[in-house]
Amino acid sequence: MNHIDTADFYGPHVVNEIIREALAPYDGVNIVTKVGSVRDENGNWPHARSPRELREQVESNLKTLGVEALDVVNLRLGGGPDGHSPVAGSLPESFGALAELRKQGKIKHLGLSVVNADQVAEAQTIAPIVTVQNWYNVAHRGHEDLIAELSGKGVAYTAFWPLGGFNPLQSSTLDAVAARLDTTPKAIAIAWLLHRSPNMIVIPGTSKVAHLRENLAAADLGSPLMLSPSWTASRYDKDRQTPRGSVLGMCTQYSEYIGLCNESASSSADLLSPLKGADTTGSRIVTVCIGTGDDMLAHRVDTLSAESR
């Protein structure tokens, strides 16, 4: 874990102060903050996007985090009826103010938050961006073209509210997949995101150490599929009709057999039958489970001994 998401207006100030106390001098950790709002005396977060207000917020972040330059500053725009969705509108004045602070060395990298594709394109004519942070999780999708476009350009897509935010995700599909893989529903929701695109960054929040451990374990669930770059989510979708137990192919680079099963497949034995006669020596068997109802994706890896093979 090397990415901490924050804002000086959380509290205000107190979250940055705790992060500073715990993590300064931040060796190997990127602190990503956002500007564009302030916290008022009633606990609301009104927009504050004028160049002067943005400069003040950057200065306040520098002070509360105790740094001379901020790693990443996201300009948070948007709003709308739900308060967290992109709203069309031009951004040169506000983003230009942050680009100027970047030139001055107060910001290392810039990003955007709660924006649409047009706003991303407009910002990129002013200064480079390293990330777009929008609301995205297994139950709240959108921005699919933008995710792909950013991935092609090497720009991270940061999914905020990966676990549902104020309304944590609840789903019988998540529960079923988690039970099957002997993990937690929240870990599955995070793993789903990690599989979604190579440029995906996930920033789950928690107030509990036990939950933090569970959430971090999701990264291990993600790793085997990360090893197979050609097996994208769209490929899985395309092949969803494949009968359970089919061997979809061999990822020769990593010597892995890729298998597909539906939710009712009960064990890796289901996957092994088509492999009879094949030389699987030294191969790992990757079981990919796709929940038929909800595009739910999870997987497990069984390193099989010679006997069980």
Ligand X SMILES: NC(=O)c1ccc[n+]([C@@H]2O[C@H](COP(=O)([O-])OP(=O)(O)OC[C@H]3O[C@@H](n4cnc5c(N)ncnc54)[C@H](OP(=O)(O)O)[C@@H]3O)[C@@H](O)[C@H]2O)c1
Catalytic residues: 10
Q: How far is the CB of 188 from ligand X (least distance, A)?
A: 10
- Cβ contact 48:85 at 8 Å: no
Q: Judged by CB under 6 A, does residue 163 bind ligand X?
A: yes
Within the chain, where are the H helices? 14-23, 51-65, 92-103, 117-124, 144-152, 172-181, 185-196, 209-226, 233-238, 268-272
What residues from 121 to 140 belong to the interface with ligand X (CB under 6 A)?
133
Q: Are 244 and 274 in contact (CB under 8 A)?
A: no
- Which 199-258 residues touch ligand X, going by CB under 6 A? 203-208, 211, 214-215
| Least CB distance to ligand X at residue 278 (A) | 39
Nearer of residues 45 and 254 to ligand X, judged by Cβ: 45
Phi, psi of 180 (to 5 degrees): -65, -35
Near ligand X by CB under 6 A: residue from 57, 60, 61, 113: 113
Q: How many C-beta atoms lie closer than 10 Å to residue 251's C-beta?
A: 20
State in angstroms the smallest separation of the CB of 205 from ligand X: 2
Pairing of strands 30-35, 3-5: parallel
Give the strand pairing for 246-251 and 256-262.
antiparallel
Q: According to CB under 6 A, which one of 33, 61, 183, 184 is a site residue for ligand X?
A: 184
Give yes or no for residue 36 binding ligand X (CB under 6 A): no
Is 194 a binding residue for ligand X by CB under 6 A? The answer is: no
Q: Does the protein bind ligand X through residue 276 (CB under 6 A)?
A: no
Query: Near ligand X by CB under 6 A, which window of 57-65, 87-95, 122-130, 162-170?
Result: 162-170
Which is closer to ligand X, CB of 148 or CB of 212?
212
Kindly tell me the sign of the dihedral angle through the C-alpha atoms of 41, 43, 47, 49. Answer: positive
Is 173 a binder of ligand X (CB under 6 A)? no
Please choose, from the candidates 157, 162, 142, the residue with its C-alpha nearest in 3D space to the C-alpha of residue 203: 162
Binding mask 70-99 for ligand X (x = CB under 6 A): ------x-------x---------------
Taking a C-beta distance cutoff of 8 angstroms, is the pair 259, 289 a contact?
Answer: no
The H-assigned helical ranges of 125-208 are 144-152, 172-181, 185-196
What is the binding site for ligand X (CB under 6 A)? 5, 34, 76, 84, 113-114, 133, 160-165, 168, 184, 186, 203-208, 211, 214-215
